Amino acid sequence: MHRLAPTFWPLVFAVVTMGAPTRAQQAFVPADWLDTHAPAAQCIAFVLYTTHAGTLKLTAQLYPLADDVPRDVTLSVRSRGDAAAAWREVARAVVDETPYGHPQADAKRWLAHFRVRDWDQGHDFDYRVTAAGGAATYDGVVRHDPVEKDAIAVASLSCNGNQDRGPRADIVQNLKHQDPDLLFFAGDQSYDHQRHYEAWLLFGRQFGELTRDRPTVTIPDDHDIGQGNVWGAGGIAADNAAGDSGGYFWSPEYVNSVQAAQTWHLPDPYDPTPVARGIGVYYTALTVGEVGFAIVEDRKWKTGPRGLIPGKQGRSDHFADPAFDTSRLDIPEAQLLGERQLAFLRAWSADWRGTELKAVLSQTVFANAAHRHGPGVWGDASALDLRTQRGDRLVADLDSNGWPQTGRNRALIEIRRGFATMLAGDQHLATLLHHGVNDFGDAGISFVSPSICNYYVRWWDPLEPPQRGIDGALPLLGDYRDGFHNKITMLAYVNPDPDRVLATTPDGNQWGPRADGHGLVRFDKRQRTITYAVWPRHVDASAPGAQPYAGWPVTRTQLDQYGRAPRAFLPRLLVRGLDDPVVQVIDEQVGEVVYTLRIRGATFQPHVFRPGVYSLRIAGQPGPERLLTGLVAAAGAAAAGELVVEW
């Protein structure tokens, strides 16, 4: 048995105190979440922004404007904290009043988009958005790119369930204390299939105090665009809202409106070419504090499962019969990420400019790790319901990215070339998995955040023991085959638990049994480690002795993200005159990049996975580059010798 012990987790990240920016206007907080009749002076609902490669992109979401209210919106800035400085206008926009499209064609987008080039990412700036002819103002802080930090923290959240329309004060308070450098909302910010506009405004009221002062990634998932599940199939029209035929059920205008609200503020798409019916794309790269993030759309090209298995009765995406051989479900021609995103990941994995660690952000996980699904649980009976109901056992769920298996493996192969970890949501079950393609653990590690409001619960509950167990703080850790026979290693999880009542709010709601919460992932650039934790709802993270869920945190290394066992070695490199160079290994026989990595320091022993002849590209990125060719891999590290590379 191999031991996996939870690693030490500092109770408090080193907090960068930004100070509270001036709140120029009182926020509009309606008694009914569907009420959008904000006064003109309170028409700015919330803001989302990112900075990347010298460009600020910022979206202001507005409430509807009366006909006589001016439509011009301005963005002004000043040096952070310099109250005596005059505001300097840097951008101006006209409110986007494009109709949402069917089924919400009576609503408009009410968005103001700002792009500011030549942005100084080295300094903090106060910003002010002004609308309604100057009657409405909204203030916040555009943070500098924290390249000076040894560690970067990312808050990972998903599944903002509609059983609770109230505020998220507990999560907001904890995240203000933990002070992440990036917010990642992995999807299902809205569960209101035909009224995204109102639900999006509610999301902004819930989390706007966080998004106004730090870069944020929001990517829409199935419920955001009005489907129970989505297999986008390149943008074709689905014939029902379940989406299993492939495609999008509601109008392309509606999908594009959702994406305009949630993703316009991201860096520009890698390739902006729309998919079928003019549906836009947003997959892209973002760098924060020398951590590079690839943001992918894992639903947009995914093949719909209906009709692929002859004779299938009932839901085409759920297989509950344990006797069914789910390897039959691997349709090699079925798409997952699609060729365009695979090409993007290959290019991104090799591009280390300004980057020391990498991560992929997606909607769901590249595995099927939930064994039990349901029931719906909420309120003061949560513990009782979970005590009497354990959900239905499901062998395989095609909504996960464990299917199609060939597509899943192709994605993992591209991701591991850059030693990238993976963050996702969707599953309502927090997990930390080490993925395998040919062998257990030969690819990267994925972290799935818990549900913010977990109405529909799921469990990790395998019937068989692991093929190789891991001794840790939780039972049932180790090597398993998921429902599609994919190789996965379970490192940590958070199951529902009726005995874990951590808090009861004044409305009687029990917090803890459903495993709600948020994720916090810490990227240590100096140690080249990633630490993953899951924090419960309604537990004060700032209190002495506060801890995440049992079994967390867990720390893994950058090299674990391509955990494939070496089979041969290239000469040990000693690089002189170039700090922390990028090393790329190329298999000369097939002309293919094996992996690319920014090393720490001046020495590195490149390993490979079969004997052969290889090239090494050593580069500054940016900076000089050297290509060494005709290097024969040796069976042992010592036999490979040493190479001195001088600049």
User: Lowest mean pLDDT: which of 7-21, 279-293, 410-424, 457-471?
Assistant: 7-21
The residue type found at 556 is: R
For 158-262, list the strands marked E by DSSP.
Answer: 182-185, 216-218
Pairing of strands 445-448, 392-393: unpaired
Question: How many helices (H) and strands (E) would you count in the chain?
Answer: 6, 39
pLDDT in tens, 102-151: 999 999 999 999 999 999 999 999 999 999 999 999 999 999 999 999 99
The two tokens of residue 120 are: 């100084």
The two tokens of residue 405 are: 């298996």
Distance CA 208, CA 27 (A): 10
Kindly list the distances between the CA atom of residue 505 and the CA atoms of 380, 384, 502, 512, 546, in Å, as whole numbers in the listed order. 9, 17, 10, 11, 18
3-state secondary structure of 24: coil
Pairing of strands 291-295, 357-361: parallel
Chain Cα centroid distance, residue 558: 18
> At CB < 8 A and 24+ separation, what contacts does 108-111 make?
108/64, 108/197, 109/197, 109/257, 109/260, 109/261, 110/61, 110/62, 110/63, 110/64, 110/65, 110/197, 111/59, 111/60, 111/61, 111/62, 111/260, 111/261, 111/264
Whole-prediction pTM? 0.95
pLDDT at 18 over 60: no
3-state secondary structure of 293: strand
pLDDT at 24 over 70: no
Confidence at residue 647, expressed as pLDDT on a 0 to 100 scale: 86
Distance CA 476, CA 465 (A): 7
For residues 446-472, average pLDDT: 97
pLDDT at 21 over 80: no
pLDDT in tens, 595-616: 999 999 999 999 999 999 999 9
Give me the percent of the chain exceeding a pLDDT of 70.
96
- Per-residue DSSP letter, 326: G
49 forms bridges with which residues in the sheet? 58
Confidence at residue 23, expressed as pLDDT on a 0 to 100 scale: 54
Chain Cα centroid distance, residue 450: 12
Q: What is the mean pLDDT of the chain?
A: 94
Give me the percent of the chain exceeding a pLDDT of 90.
93
Do 417 and 469 touch, CB atoms closer than 8 A?
A: no
3-state secondary structure of 312: coil
pLDDT in tens, 468-508: 999 999 999 999 999 999 999 999 999 999 999 999 999 99
DSSP state string for 35-73: -----GGG-EEEEEEEEETTEEEEEEEEPPPPTTS--EE
pLDDT in tens, 382-435: 999 999 998 999 999 999 999 999 999 999 999 999 999 999 999 999 999 999
The sheet carrying 182-185 orders its strands as: 216-218, 182-185, 151-157, 517-524, 529-536, 554-557
pLDDT at 183 over 50: yes
Distance CA 283, CA 588 (A): 31
Block residue for tokens 């997606």: 362
pLDDT at 22 over 50: no
Task: Name the pLDDT band for 16 (thresholds 50, 70, 90).
Answer: very low
Do 48 and 201 touch, CB atoms closer than 8 A?
A: no
Q: Where are the alpha helices (DSSP H) in 320-474?
A: 338-350, 382-388, 405-416
Distance CA 512, CA 519 (A): 15
Chain Cα centroid distance, residue 474: 25
Do 535 and 517 touch, CB atoms closer than 8 A?
A: yes
Task: Name the pLDDT band for 313 (thresholds 50, 70, 90).
Answer: confident
In the chain the domains, ranked by start, together with CATH numbers, are 151-186+282-362+364-562 (3.60.21), 568-646 (2.60.40)
Q: Taking the chain, what is the end-to-end CA distance rounded to the nearest angstrom?
A: 47
For residues 340-349, average pLDDT: 98
Do 453 and 527 touch, CB atoms closer than 8 A?
A: no
Task: Name the pLDDT band for 623 (thresholds 50, 70, 90).
Answer: confident
The two tokens of residue 432 are: 């930390």
Higher pLDDT: 208 or 312? It is: 208
pLDDT at 329 over 50: yes
